């Protein structure tokens, strides 16, 4: 039996952004979003993962778009 949240819209989500902690509200329901999690910012793993999303947006037509169709890539880390 699938989880009851599968297929449901994601709730609004506002997180602090870097470098100054300004609140950032994810554009849920407004455009496609790819969220990835990483343990610590400015590390090799973080950089490789972020670059992979950047390259996919450029190289893969599935991730290309403009305006409201453009993929928003959001990285989330508990570290700095």
Domain ranges of the chain: 28-77
pTM for the model stands at: 0.67
H/E stretch holding 49 = helix 44-59
Query: Confidence band (pLDDT; 50, 70, 90) for 73?
Result: confident
Enter the tokens of residue 66.
Answer: 């403009």
Would you state the pLDDT for residue 31?
A: 83
The fraction of the chain above a pLDDT of 70, given in percent, is 94
């Amino acid at each position: 039996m699938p989880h009851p949240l599968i297929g449901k819209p994601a709730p609004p989500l506002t997180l602090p952004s870097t470098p100054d902690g300004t609140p950032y509200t994810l554009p849920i329901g407004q455009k496609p979003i790819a969220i990835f999690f990483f343990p610590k910012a400015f590390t090799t793993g973080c950089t490789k993962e972020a670059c992979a999303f950047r390259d996919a947006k450029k190289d893969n037509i599935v991730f290309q778009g403009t305006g409201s169709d453009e993929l928003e890539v959001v990285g989330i880390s508990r570290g700095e």
